C-alpha cells in the first residue's frame, strides 16, 4: 500500500480566539453596541473587546481555572457576555452558557452536571444566584458582571467582574489550542427529562461561523450591523457572536429589554441591517410597528427560526415593511444552524406564489450539513415534498454524543436523529411538519400540527395558536386548535373553523377550537405542547361523541 501524499499547507488550528483576534486586527474600529443592564448604552470596538477578553482569560487563570474546566454564564446579550465568549475558550476553558429561563432546579442540575468552576452572571440574576448557590457546592466562585458601584446586595459572597479584569494587563498571546478541544457547552431545553449537554469544539464553532456567514445563509459582511435578539444563552445566539467578528460586522446587543418598542428603537438608532430571533419576539415587534405607525429605515433582512415562522409573519415583514425573511431551522445539537430558506436562480424565476411557498419552508442545508428523512423501517424516503419521515442529520458541527453520556450514542448508522418530522421536496427544501412527539396520528395517517397552526395564526383575530392531538375513539387522534385572540378581537369557534375550509385537506380539518388567555412556552420560547396536552388530556371532542356520523369520512378517500 502506498502512503498517502499529504498536502503541504500550514496546520493552523481553527480556534474561537482567532475570530476576535481577526476582528481586532482587521476591523479594530468596528463597534459593538450594548444596551446595558445598568440602563445605559455602552459602545466600544472589537479592539477593546479583544483586550478585555484577554484580561478575563488572565483573571480566570489567576483564579486557578484550568484548561478543559467549565465556566458558566447566566447573562443577557451584552459586551461582557461577549468577552466571556472569547476570554473563556480563548485560554482553553469551556464557556458554558446557561439559560436563565429554565426552572431553578434545572439550572442547578446543569451547573452541577457541567461541573462549572465559576459562574459569571448579570446583576438581574442576583436573586436567582442566591437561590442556586446552596445547591451548587462545587462552584468555586460567582462573578457579578458589573463594577463595584453596581454590585448587588446578596447573601452569596460574589466577586466583581470589573475589579477582577482591571487587575490584569491584557498582554496575553492566545494559545494555539488543539482545534478539536472543547470550546462551548450548551444544554438542550429538556422538555422531556433532564437537559442534555452539547459540547462544541473550537473547530466546530469556527466552521459553523463560516457556514452561518455564507451568502445563502445569513449572508453577513463588514457592511452589516447585526442584532441577535436570539439570546446568547441559547445555542450561541445562532453563532452570530462568532460570525460577526469573522466578517467584521457591527454587533448590536439588546440586553434584557426585548419588547417591540425597545428593539425597534435600538435598530433605528444603530442602523441595524440584519436581525435574528424566534417568531414570538417578532410578533411583539410587528405589533409595535403597527400600533406606532413606524417603519424600518435600515433593516433589510431578519432571520426567523427556533419555531416555525408562520407564513402570515413572513408576508407581514415582506409586504408591509419590505424586510426579507430568512426562515431557518436548527437545534442545539447542531450548533445550531442546519437549513435556511433562500431561493436559487431557478426558484426565483417561478411565479410569486410558488416562490413564497418555498420560502415558507425551512430551506436548504448549508454546506457542511447533510440530511435525510427515514420511515419507520429506517429506510430513506423520497424527496417528493409529500413523504413525511424522521429527519436525520450529520456534519462537522453536529454532535456525536452528549456531554458526560459517554456510554450510548444517540446516532443511528452515523446520523443524528433530530426528533423532527419533515418532508424534503425535489429542490432539496426541508419542511418541518412536527416534532416526532407532536405529530397527530389520525387513522394511521399523519397530520402536521404546524401546518394547522400556520392557518390559525393567519386569521387576523388570532395572536397565537397551538394544535394538539386529542384522543378520538375512531381515528385514535384528531387535531384540536387552542388559540389566543389579539387584544380586543372577537372570533367564534365556528368562524375559525370556517377559515380552514379550502386551506387544508378535508381530513386535516381541526375537530374543535378552544380559546384561552395564554399559551405555555418553554424556556426558549417554543410552545410547550406537553403541558397543553396534559391540560387537555380529558377534553372530549364534539366529533368523538358522534362517531357513526363522523364528518370526516375515510382518510384515504378524502385525500
Residue 524 makes contact with ligand AMP by CB under 6 A = yes
The residue among 60, 64, 26, 63 whose CA lies nearest residue 45 is 26
Q: Which one of 90-98, 127-135, 316-324, 327-335 is the stretch in contact with ligand AMP (CB under 6 A)?
A: 327-335
- Among 34, 55, 168, 189, contact with ligand AMP (rule: CB under 6 A): 189
Phi, psi (rounded to 5 degrees) for 207? -60, -40
Helix (H) or strand (E) holding 81: helix 79-90
Closer residue to ligand AMP, CB minimum distance, 17 or 448: 448
Residue 336 makes contact with ligand AMP by CB under 6 A = yes
Q: List strand residue ranges (DSSP E) for 366-494, in order.
A: 370-374, 389-394, 416-424, 430-435, 440-442, 445-447, 462-472, 476-485
CB-count exposure of residue 539 (10 Å: 0-12, 13-18, 19+): middle
Residue 305 makes contact with ligand AMP by CB under 6 A = yes
Closer residue to ligand AMP, CB minimum distance, 85 or 329: 329
CB-count exposure of residue 91 (10 Å: 0-12, 13-18, 19+): buried
Least Å distance, CB 76 to ligand AMP, is 18
Residue 418 makes contact with ligand AMP by CB under 6 A = yes
CB 87 within 8 A of CB 51: no
Hey, what's the torsion of the CAs at 344, 348, 354, 357, to 10 degrees? 50
Q: Which one of 116-124, 177-185, 241-249, 322-330 is the stretch in contact with ligand AMP (CB under 6 A)?
A: 322-330
Residue 335 makes contact with ligand AMP by CB under 6 A = no
C-alpha–C-alpha distance, residues 85 and 544, integer Å: 53
Hey, is 531 helix, strand or coil? Answer: helix
Question: What radius of gyration, in Å, describes the C-alpha atoms of the chain?
Answer: 24
C-alpha–C-alpha distance, residues 435 and 559, integer Å: 23
DSSP letter for 4, please.
P
Q: Which one of 151-159, 323-331, 488-496, 533-541 is the stretch in contact with ligand AMP (CB under 6 A)?
A: 323-331
Residue 235 makes contact with ligand AMP by CB under 6 A = yes
Least Å distance, CB 309 to ligand AMP, is 6
- Give the pairing type, strands 70-74 and 324-330: unpaired
Residue 106 makes contact with ligand AMP by CB under 6 A = no
Closer residue to ligand AMP, CB minimum distance, 72 or 277: 277
CB 322 within 8 A of CB 291: no
Q: Which one of 213-221, 245-253, 331-339, 396-404 is the stretch in contact with ligand AMP (CB under 6 A)?
A: 331-339
Closer residue to ligand AMP, CB minimum distance, 49 or 430: 430
Residue 306 makes contact with ligand AMP by CB under 6 A = yes
- Among 116, 420, 453, 464, contact with ligand AMP (rule: CB under 6 A): 420
Look-up of cell digits 476591523: 27
Closer residue to ligand AMP, CB minimum distance, 175 or 417: 417
Phi, psi (rounded to 5 degrees) for 524? -110, 20
Residue 358 makes contact with ligand AMP by CB under 6 A = no
Hey, is 5 helix, strand or coil? Answer: coil
The residue among 448, 444, 476, 488 whose CA lies nearest residue 362 is 448
Closer residue to ligand AMP, CB minimum distance, 143 or 393: 393
For the chain, first and last CA: distance in Å?
58
Q: Which one of 10-18, 54-62, 321-329, 460-468 is the stretch in contact with ligand AMP (CB under 6 A)?
A: 321-329
Q: Which one of 78-86, 224-232, 303-311, 377-385 is the stretch in contact with ligand AMP (CB under 6 A)?
A: 303-311
What 3 state SS string does 156-216 have? CCEEEHHHHHHCCCCCCCCCCCCCCCEEEEEECCCCCCCCCEEEEEHHHHHHHHHHHHCCC
Least Å distance, CB 313 to ligand AMP, is 12
C-alpha–C-alpha distance, residues 357 and 454, integer Å: 13
Residue 307 makes contact with ligand AMP by CB under 6 A = yes
CB 223 within 8 A of CB 30: no
Least Å distance, CB 304 to ligand AMP, is 7
- Among 123, 249, 281, 308, contact with ligand AMP (rule: CB under 6 A): 308
Residue 184 makes contact with ligand AMP by CB under 6 A = no
Closer residue to ligand AMP, CB minimum distance, 285 or 341: 341
Tell me the catalytic residues: 188, 333, 441, 446
Residue 332 makes contact with ligand AMP by CB under 6 A = yes
- Among 27, 70, 203, 435, contact with ligand AMP (rule: CB under 6 A): 435
Closer residue to ligand AMP, CB minimum distance, 37 or 450: 450
Least Å distance, CB 248 to ligand AMP, is 27
Crossing angle (nearest 10°) for helices 79-90 and 16-26:
120
- Among 56, 244, 274, 432, contact with ligand AMP (rule: CB under 6 A): 432
Residue 208 makes contact with ligand AMP by CB under 6 A = no
Q: Which one of 101-109, 255-263, 293-301, 330-338 is the stretch in contact with ligand AMP (CB under 6 A)?
A: 330-338
Closer residue to ligand AMP, CB minimum distance, 219 or 336: 336
CB 452 within 8 A of CB 504: yes
Residue 213 makes contact with ligand AMP by CB under 6 A = no
Number of residues that bind ligand AMP (CB under 6 A): 21
Q: Can you give the binding site for ligand AMP, defined by CB under 6 A?
A: 188-189, 235, 305-308, 327-332, 336, 362, 418-420, 432, 435, 524
Amino acid at each position: 500500500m502506498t502512503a498517502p501524499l499529504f498536502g503541504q499547507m500550514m496546520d493552523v488550528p481553527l480556534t474561537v480566539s482567532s475570530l476576535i483576534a481577526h476582528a481586532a486586527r482587521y476591523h479594530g474600529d468596528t463597534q459593538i453596541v450594548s444596551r446595558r443592564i445598568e440602563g445605559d448604552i455602552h459602545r466600544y470596538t472589537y479592539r477593546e473587546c479583544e483586550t478585555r477578553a484577554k484580561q478575563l482569560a488572565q483573571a480566570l487563570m489567576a483564579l486557578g481555572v484550568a484548561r478543559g474546566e467549565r465556566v458558566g454564564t447566566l447573562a443577557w446579550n451584552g459586551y461582557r457576555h461577549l468577552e466571556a465568549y472569547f476570554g473563556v475558550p480563548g485560554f482553553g476553558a469551556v464557556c458554558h452558557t446557561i439559560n436563565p429561563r429554565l426552572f431553578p432546579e434545572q439550572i442547578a442540575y446543569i451547573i452541577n452536571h457541567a461541573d462549572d468552576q465559576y459562574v459569571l452572571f448579570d446583576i438581574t440574576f442576583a436573586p436567582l444566584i442566591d437561590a442556586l448557590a446552596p445547591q451548587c457546592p462545587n462552584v468555586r466562585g460567582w462573578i457579578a458582571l458589573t463594577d463595584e458601584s453596581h454590585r448587588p446586595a446578596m447573601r452569596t459572597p460574589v466577586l466583581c467582574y470589573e475589579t477582577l479584569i482591571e487587575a490584569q494587563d491584557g498582554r496575553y498571546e492566545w494559545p494555539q489550542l488543539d482545534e478539536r478541544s472543547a470550546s462551548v457547552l450548551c444544554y438542550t431545553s429538556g422538555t422531556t427529562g433532564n437537559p442534555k449537554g452539547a459540547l462544541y469544539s473550537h473547530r466546530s464553532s469556527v466552521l459553523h461561523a463560516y457556514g452561518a456567514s455564507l451568502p445563502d445563509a445569513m449572508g453577513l459582511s463588514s457592511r452589516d450591523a447585526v442584532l441577535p435578539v436570539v439570546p446568547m444563552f441559547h445555542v450561541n445566539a445562532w453563532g452570530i457572536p462568532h460570525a460577526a467578528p469573522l466578517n467584521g460586522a457591527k454587533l448590536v446587543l439588546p440586553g434584557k429589554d426585548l419588547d417591540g418598542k425597545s428593539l425597534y428603537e435600538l435598530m433605528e438608532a444603530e442602523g441595524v441591517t440584519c436581525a435574528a430571533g424566534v417568531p414570538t419576539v417578532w410578533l411583539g415587534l410587528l405589533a409595535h410597528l403597527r400600533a406606532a405607525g413606524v417603519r424600518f429605515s435600515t433593516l433589510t433582512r431578519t432571520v426567523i427560526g427556533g419555531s416555525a415562522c408562520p407564513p402570515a409573519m413572513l408576508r407581514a415583514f415582506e409586504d408591509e415593511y419590505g424586510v426579507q425573511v430568512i426562515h431557518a431551522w436548527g437545534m442545539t445539537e447542531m450548533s445550531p444552524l442546519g437549513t435556511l430558506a433562500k431561493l436559487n436562480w431557478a426558484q426565483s424565476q417561478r411565479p410569486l406564489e410558488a416562490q413564497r411557498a418555498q420560502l415558507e419552508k425551512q430551506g436548504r442545508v448549508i454546506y457542511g450539513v447533510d440530511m435525510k428523512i427515514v420511515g419507520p423501517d429506517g429506510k430513506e424516503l423520497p424527496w417528493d415534498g409529500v413523504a413525511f419521515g424522521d429527519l436525520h442529520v450529520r456534519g462537522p458541527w453536529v454532535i456525536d454524543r452528549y456531554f458526560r453520556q459517554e456510554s450510548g450514542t444517540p446516532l443511528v448508522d452515523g446520523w443524528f436523529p433530530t426528533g423532527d418530522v419533515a418532508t424534503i421536496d425535489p429542490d432539496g427544501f426541508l419542511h418541518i411538519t412536527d416534532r416526532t412527539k407532536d405529530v397527530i396520528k389520525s387513522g394511521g395517517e399523519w397530520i402536521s400540527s404546524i401546518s394547522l397552526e400556520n392557518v390559525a395564526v393567519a386569521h387576523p383575530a388570532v395572536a397565537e395558536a397551538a394544535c394538539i392531538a386529542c384522543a378520538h375513539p375512531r381515528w385514535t387522534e384528531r387535531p384540536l386548535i387552542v388559540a389566543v385572540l389579539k387584544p380586543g378581537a372577537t372570533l367564534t369557534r365556528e368562524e375559525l373553523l370556517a377559515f380552514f375550509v379550502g386551506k387544508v385537506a378535508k381530513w386535516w380539518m381541526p375537530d374543535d377550537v378552544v380559546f384561552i388567555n395564554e399559551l405555555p412556552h418553554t424556556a426558549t420560547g417554543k410552545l410547550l405542547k406537553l403541558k397543553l396536552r396534559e391540560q387537555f388530556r380529558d377534553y372530549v371532542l364534539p366529533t368523538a361523541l358522534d362517531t357513526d356520523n363522523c364528518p370526516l369520512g375515510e382518510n384515504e378517500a378524502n385525500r
